[in-house]
Amino acid sequence: MNERVKTPEGRPYYKEIGTRPIRPDGVEKVTGSARFGDDFTLPGTLVGKILRSPHPHARLISVDTSNAKKIAGVKAIVTGSDFPDQPFAYTGPAVLERNMWHVTRNVIAREKVLYEGHAVAAVAAVDEKTASAALQAIAVEYEILPHVTTLDEALAPDAVLLFEDMITRGVEPAPEKPTNIARRANYEKGQIDTAWSSADLIVERSYETKPVHQGYIEPHACLAHYHPDGQADLYTSSQGHFQMRALTATLTGMRLTDIRAIPAEIGGGFGGKTVVYLEPLAMMLSKMSGFPVRMKMTRSEVFKASGPAAGTKARIKLGAKKNGTLVAAEVEMYYEAGAFPGSPFVNGVLCCVAPYTIPNVRLTGWDVVANRPKVAAYRAPGSPQSNFAFESTVDIVCKKLGLDPIAFRKMNAVQVGAELLGGRQLNHEGYLQLLEATERHPQYATELGPNQGRGFAAGYWPNAGGESGATVYVNADGTVNIATGSPDIGGSRASMAQMTAETLGISYDRVRSAVNDTTSVPFTHVTGGSRVTFATGKAVVAACETVIADLRARAAKIWDVDVDAVDWREGAAHPSSSNVGDFDPLTLGDLAARATETGGPIGSSGALNATGHAPGFSAALCDVEVDPETGHVKIIRFTVAQDAGVAIHPSYVEGQMQGAVVQGIGWALSEEYIYGPDGRLQNHGFLDYRMPVASDLPMIDPIVVEVPNPDHPFGVKGVAEAGMVTAMASVANAVADAVDRRMTSLPISPPKLAKEIAAGKAAM
Amino acid sequence: MSKMHITTSINGDTTEFLAEADQTLLSALRDNLRLTGTKEGCGSGDCGACSVRVDGRVVCSCLMLAPEAQDRAIETIEGMADGDNLHPVQRRFLEEAALQCGFCTPGFLIAARDLLDRNPNPTETEIRFWLAGNLCRCTGYDKIVRAVQKAAEDVRG
């Protein structure tokens, strides 16, 4: 199915970009031969397993492994003290800080366990049963401490502290007393305190969202093989094998060059596989035992010890003129980071106001620790939570003023060139176009039936550029191999091959596209931030352009002309004018066949730090039907609009949007972490942690707007995250429209909504 | 405890293996026979990634004991294509971009083929309910449902 896109006026005509070819790794994935994290084995491979804390908060008095070590078949046991400690230092940009002192303690506990499921020890044994027996034989002495599992508990004045010396950062002057608040972020513009008097309408509401899991179907898994010479192989299912290599090296005291990280296929990540859990343990166990060690999490471990996204509390205050002009916005949000600081609270508060022009703004975010697993990135980390709160409040303003929600967004839309809070600037067109496209969509004019409602939300996510590398080789038969360092979670091998084919001027089926290990492609940052098609795409194109320069030089040599007299088009070298001489074109295949005589192998690498990425805006239009007796919400129609810049492979662009929306629907309606008073997770399986299934949903209609990004060779903007940002608010706004009750707490589960509807009837 | 000697049919071939009494069929397929196309997503029968067909019925292989495979006919994803010839549902999954990460895909294919074997003309609702035992976190199911609809057309001929 290789349909050719029609060319709109003024846009270059592409042969491969915009078509929908079958992905290079497709057949492997429909025949079962693709190898994911747990599909690798080596001779002599041991089974690694983790002993996890049953307590949400306790001091680790001692971990005695002596009896476990005596069990036949147990080859190695590690505890926290087997790993080098890390300096206490926050590094990286304000929106994405990291502290390796925390990271090493999350991988394996040292002084304290901070959540149920916190790793305490790890064993490697000849088989599963022996490993389990060894875990049973490890004697751990805990001094059990009181725990805090909710934001309210963690913020209480007399709350037990996870870190007895934690002074809130970002508050001047620094507080004298330690608390569970790790950091405050504050952004202001205009005169917020006096601005309210100029508003005709002020709406203030509070909201909450619960922690939810990324829910990738593949549990974390890896295989580490430490060789006696100190070099090691690491098979890892992750969103970035360079990242896994770096973290594993730091946490085990190895050098980068000594670890060859081999990317397994990854069974979903959504941000949750940018984090290291198993790899350093498996590596250390392999080093100690001398055998390869395979580790995988159970689903219960995935829930208890990886992910999730932060739960939040929000207070939003908006002031508007009668005509709908926004004059002031105040946002205060608490993000639950879990056991270690570092929730995405900064991006959270920054994103929610970004789609608007508002003269007076105050944003305050708080990063709060609690006795739960440390949160991990989840698709536009931080933004869906704040968007739910902010866009719900905007919806109230629109309803109170009797304004159309899309017209309201257009009227108050952020303008290109605007300075956004947090030091960003909006440099790219596209947001207005997707609002207009949504407005024109037939769903917006579809009549609603009884108990039905329609919700709209707009949202923003900055997206990312960053470091990427690619290699391109031309083979003797005129085929081309490309490789990148970006794990392919959703079809990126195909888009890389399309960009290669388009740049070189050859057909897609002559390009083989791969994801290679850390020894065979330049450094590449994680598959995250909607950056791969943009940034790694740039690296691929850069490598191709170097190859083209080389091919032109070789043609010039063959023709004995100046290289400037050789053009490259449609996959061949041509004389740039008739003055150059009467030469037949030399195709890529011709030049490949003559590589030996013209200078040897043809190939190049591209490695760059991609700049010029465009933000991801989205607009969501959701129609629901509510059963007023049970409180069950059925999604009956859903349209999502995003600006892809240019959709390299439209099917995979649509797929990102549809998948993002459905994750947001789950967050809005059915997903939440449920803890008991004992601080233990009660729903650590897919039966009780309810993610959407096929029968819950309608088709999700994606509107792919294409306003090309001038800062990418083919106009790409990132599309993988923004679609989720608006999903929750659009569902909540649709429910409010259907039942005339505002649900300010997610998930909008049937019992909660039924209770609210009943309360509404009683009040009438 | 000594292992049990199991004789079964896997994708039409008589296969023997040694199983622990409490080993799951999923573990036997993956660990003993290295048929790793069948995936473990939850181990509790909730995600469908480990779906196989046993004597013509779709089951979660994580919920079946390996010794129960004795004298049964097991069909896994590795047996779905006929050489280079993909089953229509496999081909349509590729053409419709019905997979992103591909981890849940073998389970979906096993379930979808079983649906089409029983009902080559399913409605969208029937497809959605038939596949409700399979979790996909990437696609939002839209393109999966469309791929099954297209495959149904192929099967009907």
For residue A508, is it within any domain? yes
Q: Do B135 and A267 touch (CB under 8 A)?
A: no
Q: Which chain B residues are Cβ-neighbours of A33 within 8 angstroms?
A: 37, 78
Residues A591 and A704 occupy one common structural domain: no
* Residue ending a domain, choose from A576, A610, A644: A610
| A–B CB contacts, 8 A cutoff, strictly below | 185
Given a cut of 90, whether residue B147 has pLDDT beyond it is yes
Within A167-206, residue ranges assigned H as helices are 192-195
Q: How confident is the model at residue A4 (pLDDT cuts 50, 70, 90)?
A: very low
Q: Which residue of A has its CA nearest to B140?
A: A659
Selected for mutation to probe chain A from B53, B129, B141 (highest A CB count within 10 Å) is B141
Which of B95, B128, B144 is closest, CB to CB, to A22?
B95
Q: Does A251 touch chain B (CB under 8 A)?
A: no
* Residue ending a domain, choose from A610, A634, A666: A610
Q: Do B41 and A25 touch (CB under 8 A)?
A: no
How buried is A545 (Cβ within 10 angstroms: 0-12 exposed, 13-18 middle, 19+ buried)? middle
Q: How far is CA B100 from CA A278, A472, A501, A652, in A?
A: 24, 24, 22, 8
Q: Which chain B residues are Cβ-neighbours of A652 within 8 angstroms?
A: 97, 100
Given a cut of 50, whether residue A510 has pLDDT beyond it is yes
Sketch out chain B's domains with CATH numbers.
4-78 (3.10.20.30), 88-156 (1.10.150.120)
Given a cut of 80, whether residue A11 has pLDDT beyond it is no
Residues A680 and A746 occupy one common structural domain: yes
Which CATH number characterizes residue A599's domain? Answer: 3.30.365.10
For residue A745, is it within any domain? yes
* Averaged pLDDT for residues A654-676: 98
Give the DSSP per-residue string, A489-532.
SSSHHHHHHHHHHHHHT--GGGEEEEE--TTTS-----S-TT-I
Given a cut of 90, whether residue A406 has pLDDT beyond it is yes
Residues A620 and A758 occupy one common structural domain: yes
State the smallest CA–CA distance between residue A266 and chain B in angstroms. 6
Residues A622 and A757 occupy one common structural domain: yes
Phi, psi of A144, deg, nearest 5: -70, 135
Contacts of A354 (CB under 8 A, 6+ apart): A414, A420, A421, A424, A426, A460, A462, A615
HSE at residue B150, side-chain half, CA atoms within 13 A, is 19
Residues A587 and A602 occupy one common structural domain: yes
Contact indicator for A222, A208 with CB cutoff of 8 Å: no
pLDDT, tens digit, 9 for 90 and up, residues A617-638 = 999 999 999 999 999 999 999 9
Residues A503 and A581 occupy one common structural domain: yes
Residues A501 and A456 occupy one common structural domain: no
Q: Which chain B residues are Cβ-neighbours of A266 within 8 angstroms?
A: 101
Cα gap A235→A237, rounded to integer Å:
7
Cα gap A517→A273, rounded to integer Å:
17
Given a cut of 80, whether residue A762 has pLDDT beyond it is yes
pLDDT of residue A414: 98
Selected for mutation to probe chain A from B31, B42, B101 (highest A CB count within 10 Å) is B101
A566: left (phi over 0), alpha (psi -120 to 50) or beta: beta
* Averaged pLDDT for residues A2-12: 49
Q: How far is CA A508 from CA A16, A23, A542, in A?
A: 7, 10, 18
For residue A161, is it within any domain? no
Cα gap A709→A705, rounded to integer Å:
12
Contact indicator for A210, A150 with CB cutoff of 8 Å: no
For residue A743, is it within any domain? yes
Q: Do A41 and B43 touch (CB under 8 A)?
A: no
pLDDT, tens digit, 9 for 90 and up, residues A134-178 = 999 999 999 999 999 999 999 999 999 999 999 999 999 999 999
User: Whole domain around residue A747: which residue ranges?
Assistant: 437-461+615-763
For residue A328, is it within any domain? no
Residues A450 and A520 occupy one common structural domain: no
Residues A707 and A646 occupy one common structural domain: yes
Q: Do B101 and A663 touch (CB under 8 A)?
A: no
Q: How confident is the model at residue A5 (pLDDT cuts 50, 70, 90)?
A: very low
pLDDT of residue A1: 30
Q: Which chain B residues are Cβ-neighbours of A667 within 8 angstroms?
A: none
State the smallest CA–CA distance between residue B49 and chain A in angstroms. 8
How many residues in total does chain A contain?
764
A123: left (phi over 0), alpha (psi -120 to 50) or beta: beta
pLDDT, tens digit, 9 for 90 and up, residues A301-358 = 999 999 999 999 999 999 999 999 999 999 999 999 999 999 999 999 999 999 999 9
Q: Which chain B residues are Cβ-neighbours of A696 within 8 angstroms?
A: 132
> Structure pTM?
0.97
Cα gap A127→B109, rounded to integer Å:
31
For residue A676, is it within any domain? yes
Residues A547 and A562 occupy one common structural domain: yes
Q: How far is CA A718 from CA A383, A418, A422, A520, A653, in A?
A: 16, 20, 20, 26, 9
State the smallest CA–CA distance between residue B60 and chain A in angstroms. 14
For residue A626, is it within any domain? yes
Which of A266, A661, A686 is closest, CB to CB, to B101?
A266
Given a cut of 60, whether residue A8 has pLDDT beyond it is no
Cα gap A317→A361, rounded to integer Å:
10
HSE at residue A49, side-chain half, CA atoms within 13 A, is 19
pLDDT, tens digit, 9 for 90 and up, residues A458-472 = 999 999 999 999 999
Residues A551 and A678 occupy one common structural domain: no
Selected for mutation to probe chain A from B26, B103, B146 (highest A CB count within 10 Å) is B103
Our count of domains for chain A comes to 2
Q: Which two tokens stand for residue B154?
A: 């192929």
Contacts of A177 (CB under 8 A, 6+ apart): A167
Q: Which two tokens stand for residue A172?
A: 């001047």
Which residues are paired to A232 by β-bridges?
A226, A259
Residues A596 and A646 occupy one common structural domain: no
Q: Does A31 touch chain B (CB under 8 A)?
A: yes
Given a cut of 90, whether residue A546 has pLDDT beyond it is yes
Q: Which chain A residues are Cβ-neighbours of B34 within 8 angstroms?
A: 41
Q: Do A299 and B44 touch (CB under 8 A)?
A: yes
How many residues in total does chain B contain?
157
Which residues are paired to A79 by β-bridges?
A121
* Residue ending a domain, choose from A610, A640, A673: A610
Packing angle between helix A727-739 and helix A650-669, nearest 10 degrees? 50
Which of A34, A267, A685 is closest, CB to CB, to B44?
A685
For residue A53, is it within any domain? no
Q: How far is CA A339 from CA A59, A121, A306, A590, A717, in A?
A: 14, 18, 11, 60, 34
pLDDT, tens digit, 9 for 90 and up, residues A206-259 = 999 999 999 999 999 999 999 999 999 999 999 999 999 999 999 999 999 999
